Structure 1
Amino acid sequence: MSKKISGAEYPLAKIFSSDFDYAIPTYQRPYAWTHVQAGELFSDLHDFFLNEKDDTYFLGSIVLIKEEGRPHAEVIDGQQRLTTLTILLAALTSMFSGELRTDFENYIREPGRASQGLKPKPRLALRERDRAFFADYVQGLKLTELEALDPAQLDNESKRNIRLNALTMLERLDSAFGGDQERLCEFGAFLVQRCFLVAVSTPSQQSAFRVFSVLNSRGLDLLPTDIIKSDVIGKIPADKQDAFNDIWEELEVETGRDGFAEVFAHIRMIHAKEKARKALLEEFREKVMPKVATAEALISDVIEPYTDAYLIAKQCQYTSTADAAEINALLGWLNRIDNSDWLPSGMRFLADKGGDADYVLWFFRKLERLAAYMHVCGLDVNQRIERYAEVLRGLEQAHNGSNPVTSVELTDTERKRMLAALDGRIYELTARRRNYLILRLDSFLTDGAASYNPTLLTIEHVLPQTVAPGSQWSEWWPDASQRDEWVHRIANLVPLNQRRNSAAQNYDFDRKKTAYFVGRSGVSSYVLTTQVLHEATWRPEAVARRQADLLALMQDKWML
Structure 2
Amino acid sequence: MLPPVLSVDRCSLRPAISSQLGACSRVKRLKSITQRRHASQTPLTKFWETRPAANYFAAEASVDARENGAQEYSNHSFGQFPGKTGAATPGGKTLEASKFKLADIFGNHVFSLFKAQRPYLWTVDLALKLLEDFLTQVKDGSSNELGLFSLGMMNVCEVSKEGSTVLELLDGQQRLVTLCIILAAIRKKLLDHGGEEEIALANKISTRLWQPKSVDEDLPARPRLELKRYDVAFFNQILRDPSAVDGTSGPSSLQTSTQENIWRNLQAIKGRLEECSTQQIIAVYKYIINRTHIIVAEYKDTEAALQVYRTGNMGVGMKLAPMDLLKADVLEHVQLEDQLDVTNSWEELETEVGREVMSDLLSEYLVAICLGKRPRTHTELEDLNEVFHASWRRHIGVVDRETDTTAGLWFTKEFLPLYARASADLAAYKLPGTPNLREVKGKVEYYLKLLRRLPGRVRDGWMPAALVLAVECSGCDIEVKLDVLFNLERLSWYLLLRGADINVIHRRFSQVTASLRKQGGGLKKANRVAGLELTSEEKDEMLERLNDPIYKKSTWNSIARPLLARLNEYYLNRNDQGYVKYDIEDLTVEHIMPQNVKSGSSWEKDIPDGNLRQQWVPKLGNLKLLSVRRNSAASNHDFEQKKTHYLGKKKGGQANVNNIPLTDKVATLDKWTIEELEERQAELLNLAKFCWELY
TM-score bracket for this pair, using the shorter chain length: 0.5 to 0.7
Letter in 1 for 2:366: I
Contact 1:490 1:547 in 2 (8 A): yes
Match in the other structure for 1:385:
506
Deviations 1:204-249 (A, max 9, x none): xxx9xxx999525673455332343344345345665555444322
C-alpha change, 1:454 and 1:400, in structure 2 (3 Å) is closer
1:336 pairs with 2:456: no
Contact 2:418 2:471 in 1 (8 A): yes
- Counterparts in 2 of 1:407-418, with a 5 A limit? 407-418=531-542
Query: How many angstroms apart in 2 are the aligned matches of 1:371 and 1:218?
Result: 38
Contact 2:657 2:664 in 1 (8 A): yes
- Counterparts in 2 of 1:36-47, with a 5 A limit? none
C-alpha change, 1:5 and 1:350, in structure 2 (3 Å) is farther
Query: How many angstroms apart in 2 are the aligned matches of 1:408 and 1:312?
Result: 22
Query: How many angstroms apart in 2 are the aligned matches of 1:258 and 1:421?
Result: 35
Deviations 1:484-542 (A, max 9, x none): 2322211111111135777844433222201x212476332422211111223222222
Letter in 2 for 1:352: E
Match in the other structure for 2:622:
492
Shift of 1:449: 3.1
Q: Rg: which structure is higher? A: 2
Shift of 1:253: 0.8
Match in the other structure for 2:474:
354
Match in the other structure for 1:460:
590
Contact 1:62 1:198 in 2 (8 A): no
Higher-RCO chain (CA-CA 8 Å, sequence separation at least 6): 1
Deviations 1:252-275 (A, max 9, x none): 112322321211121121011112
Query: How many angstroms apart in 2 are the aligned matches of 1:540 and 1:504?
Result: 20
1:439 pairs with 2:575: no
Secondary structure (helix, strand or coil) at the match of 1:495 reads: strand
Deviations 1:257-302 (A, max 9, x none): 2321211121121011112344433212224414413333323442
Number of equivalenced pairs: 379
Match in the other structure for 2:685:
551
Match in the other structure for 1:275:
374
Deviations 1:81-112 (A, max 9, x none): xxxxxxxxxxxxxxxxxxxxxxxxxxxxxxxx
C-alpha change, 1:197 and 1:524, in structure 2 (3 Å) is farther
C-alpha change, 1:489 and 1:65, in structure 2 (3 Å) is same
Contact 1:423 1:489 in 2 (8 A): yes
Contact 2:473 2:523 in 1 (8 A): no
Match in the other structure for 2:333:
235
Query: How many angstroms apart in 2 are the aligned matches of 1:398 and 1:414?
Result: 25
Aligned match for 1:215, one of 309, 313, 328: 313
Letter in 2 for 1:546: R
Match in the other structure for 1:423:
547
C-alpha change, 1:241 and 1:504, in structure 2 (3 Å) is closer
Letter in 1 for 2:384: F
Letter in 1 for 2:534: L
Contact 1:233 1:295 in 2 (8 A): yes
Shift of 1:454: 4.4
Structure 1: segments with no counterpart, 5+ residues: 8-59, 71-191, 202-206
Match in the other structure for 2:25:
66
Deviations 1:112-164 (A, max 9, x none): xxxxxxxxxxxxxxxxxxxxxxxxxxxxxxxxxxxxxxxxxxxxxxxxxxxxx
Shift of 1:470: 4.4
Query: How many angstroms apart in 1 are the aligned matches of 2:316 and 2:454?
Result: 24
Structure 2: segments with no counterpart, 5+ residues: 8-18, 30-87, 98-152, 154-308, 397-406, 651-655
For the aligned residue pairs, the C-alpha RMSD in angstroms reads 3.7
Aligned match for 1:507, one of 632, 637, 650: 637
Contact 1:267 1:344 in 2 (8 A): yes
Letter in 1 for 2:452: N
Secondary structure (helix, strand or coil) at the match of 2:26 reads: coil
Letter in 2 for 1:298: F
Query: How many angstroms apart in 1 are the aligned matches of 2:663 and 2:589?
Result: 10
Match in the other structure for 2:442:
325
C-alpha change, 1:462 and 1:231, in structure 2 (3 Å) is closer
Q: Give the % identical residues.
A: 29
- Counterparts in 2 of 1:37-436, with a 5 A limit? 65-67=24-26, 215=313, 219-220=317-318, 222-237=320-335, 244-265=342-363, 266-277=365-376, 278-292=378-392, 293=396, 294-318=407-431, 319-322=434-437, 323-339=440-456, 340-341=459-460, 342-355=462-475, 356-399=477-520, 401-403=522-524, 404=526, 405-428=529-552, 429-431=554-556, 432-436=558-562
C-alpha change, 1:487 and 1:499, in structure 2 (3 Å) is same
Contact 1:426 1:488 in 2 (8 A): yes
Please give the TM-score of this superposition, normalised by the length of structure 2: 0.49
Match in the other structure for 1:88:
none
Deviations 1:351-384 (A, max 9, x none): 0223432111111000111122223333222222
Aligned match for 1:537, one of 671, 676, 680: 671
Deviations 1:444-471 (A, max 9, x none): 1222633322444332122223334544
Contact 1:330 1:368 in 2 (8 A): yes
Shift of 1:350: 0.8
Runs of 4+ in 1 over 6 A off after TM superposition: 197-201, 500-503
